[in-house]
Each structure stands twice: as structure tokens, then as C-alpha cells.
Amino acid sequence: MTFDTIQAIPVSPALGAEIGGVDLSQSLGDDVIAEIRQAWLEYRVVFFRDQDITPEQHLAFARRFGDLVTYPMVKGLDDYPEIAPVIKLEHQTVNFGGIWHSDTTYLPQPPMGAILVARELPPKGGDTLFANIVMAYEALPKAMKERLSGLIAINSSAKDHVAKSREDRQKDMDDVPEPLFAEHPAVRTHPETGLKSLYVNQGHTVGFKGMAEDESAPLLEELFKHQTRGEFTCRFQWRPGSIAFWDNRSAQHNPINDYHGHKRVMHRITLAGDVPV
């Protein structure tokens, strides 16, 4: 893929590209935004390096791609409620969302995507893995595709590992939400590209509608292992000034928890999505 206003350098065969030739602290033309969106759809996740942006500029950039929504499980910044701080402190041993997942699939309309800005990083570690769930679906055997066709996945905000990772972050919330549940197709069709993806995830999917647990559990484990195989993934090493922008409809992510004793602060903005079909 070639572009007129930006550079897009793939970071792995599966997904991910670093975008160059843009300064996100500036107001970007519609042609630049259109090319960033094109690269984002093609590569599932795009990365920006050496960016120095304020919260206001972070918000302005995000709004060029859609409406913003607040993250339901963590309180936003006091002055910028649409920016969710993703923080692990020196004494903490559990990182926020530290498991393979698609964001908030326990909502009726999961987000279209998210834009994460590095604010404070550990001296080493803290990388994020991303997985291409379109590629994962396409690699499934025909018989498995037929088995999944029409299945409805049940998603919960209360699945043990993810719920535990939020505990420390919810202490300053006045009203912690009750567990949330949503049902979505196990195979969803991307509303912009028309491509199908394997839309279950280890962080939130707990079963299949109308299927007994002893049948759904082994099937889910098989799918979780399949969709995060190494050949479907890329690894992003954060540096000061780094930004990641992922398509939540076609990619999963997993922040690696390998920096105990150090602080990591990220700022996240979430983009409104639609009902998966």
C-alpha cells in the first residue's frame, strides 16, 4: 500500500505499521486523516513515534475518527473525563487488562478502537502484543468455520483475571458498575472492510449461548490459543512519545506485565463502535 501524505512501515507480516510524516500536535488535513484511517484499517493497528501531544491534542486527534465514549470501569481524568488513565504503580504486581482481549465486548456496542499515549514508562519492559483476529479466522479449518457460523458468544465484565486487574484502579470510583454482559456473534463482519474476524477473547468471553459449559469451555480454549498464535501477532516496544491506535473490531491486544517495581502511565481514549453483526 502506498500513500501520498504519510509513510506506513509494516512492523510484522501479520499486522501493525509505524506511521511517519505526521505531527499529531498539529491540525491535520482531511487527506492526511483519510490516509491514516486507510492504514489503520489495512494494518489493524498503527503506531506513531516521537510525538509530544497534550491531552487537548490527544482528544482533538481522536475526534477526527469518530465519537468518543468514556471507559466504564475506570474513572477518567478530572479535567478530561474521556481520557482514561491506565496506570501500574511501583508496588503493584497486577497490570490493568493484562490478558489477551478485545476491549469491553461485555457492552452492547463495543468500541471501534482506542488511542493510547505513553506518558511514563518503565526503563525496560511493558511492551504490548497485538493479534490479527481476521487472519485468525481466515486460518481456521472449514469445519470450524461452519461450526462457529451462527454461534453467539456471551461476554462478561466479571471474568476473574480481568476483574482482578481493575480492583486497585476502582478504589477512587464513587459507583463501581455491576457486572455487565453482552452477546455477540462469534464471527463478526467488519462494518468498513467487510472482512470476518474471530470475535471471542480470553479476557471477556465466558461461553456460547445455548451451549453447556462442558462443551463451550474446551471450544473456547481452542479458539483462544488459535487466535493468538505467534504468526498472527506483532509486538510493540513503547518509547517516550509513542502512540498506538488499534481497531478493536479486527485486533486484540495484551499488555505484558514484566516491569514490577516500576511505574507505567498511559492515557487512553476510546472511540464509539456499533453493534457487531
The pLDDT tens digits of the residues spanning 208-231 come to 999 999 999 999 999 999 999 999
> Per-residue confidence at 143, pLDDT binned at 50, 70, 90?
very high
Distance CA 148, CA 146 (A): 5
- The confidence band for 72, taking pLDDT boundaries of 50, 70 and 90, is confident
Establish if 277 belongs to a structural domain: no
Domain count of the fold of the chain: 1
Choose, from 44, 103, 249, 264, the residue flagged as catalytic.
103
Q: Which of 101, 169, 184, 267 is catalytic?
A: 101
pLDDT at residue 170 greater than cutoff 90: no
| Res 78: pLDDT | 96
* Residue 1 belongs to a domain: no
pLDDT of 1 reads 75
- Residue 226 is part of which domain span? 7-271
Catalytic residue among 58, 184, 253, 264: 253
* 105 domain-assigned: yes
Q: What is the pLDDT of residue 2?
A: 86
- C-alpha radius of gyration, the chain, whole number: 18
SS3 76: coil
> Is 190 one of the annotated active-site residues of the chain?
no
Instruction: Judge whether 139 lies within some domain.
Output: yes
Instruction: Say if residues 61 and 245 touch (Cβ distance below 8 Å).
Output: no
Cell of 146: 461452519
Q: Indicate whether 267 belongs to any domain.
A: yes
pLDDT value at position 168? 58
Whether residue 164 is predicted with pLDDT greater than 70 in this model: the reply is no
- Sequence-distant (6+) residues with CB within 8 A of 161 are 98, 99, 203
Q: Which residue has the cell 504503580?
A: 89
The C-alpha cell that represents 270 in the structure block? 476510546
248 touches 190 (CB < 8 A)? no
What distance in Å separates the CA atoms of residue 74 and residue 158, rounded to the nearest whole number?
14
DSSP, collapsed to helix, strand or coil, labels residue 245 as: strand
Residue 276 lies in a domain: no
Residues 243, 71: Cα–Cα separation, whole Å: 18
As a whole number of angstroms, the distance between CA 252 and CA 247 comes to 8
Q: Answer whether residue 64 shows pLDDT above 70.
A: yes
CATH number of the domain bearing residue 55 = 3.60.130.10
The question of whether 103 is a catalytic residue gets the answer yes
Across the chain, mean pLDDT equals 94
Check if the beta carbon of residue 258 is closer than 8 Å to that of residue 126. yes
Average pLDDT over residues 154-176: 66
In tens, the pLDDT along 183-212 reads: 999 999 999 999 999 999 999 999 999 999
For residue 176, the model assigns a pLDDT of 61
Residue 198 lies in a domain: yes
Query: pTM for this one?
Result: 0.93
Pick from 50-54, 113-117, 163-167, 261-265: least confident:
163-167
Q: Which pLDDT score is estimated for 223? A: 98
Range list of H helices, 44-190: 55-63, 133-138, 142-148, 160-166
**Residue 2 domain-assigned?**
no
Find all residues with CB under 8 Å of 230, minimum gap 6, and list them.
none
Active site residue 274: no
Facing residues of 7 across strands? 20
State the virtual CA torsion across 69, 70, 76, 78 in degrees, nearest 10.
70
172 is catalytic: no
Catalytic residue, chosen from 169, 184, 188, 268, is 268
For residue 171, the model assigns a pLDDT of 56
Residue pair 127/236 in contact (Cβ under 8 Å)? The answer is: yes
Q: Report pLDDT for 178.
A: 82
**Residue 110: strand pairing partners:** none
Q: What pLDDT sits at residue 74?
A: 85
Q: Is the pLDDT of residue 175 over 70?
A: no
pLDDT-derived band at 173, boundaries 50, 70, 90: low
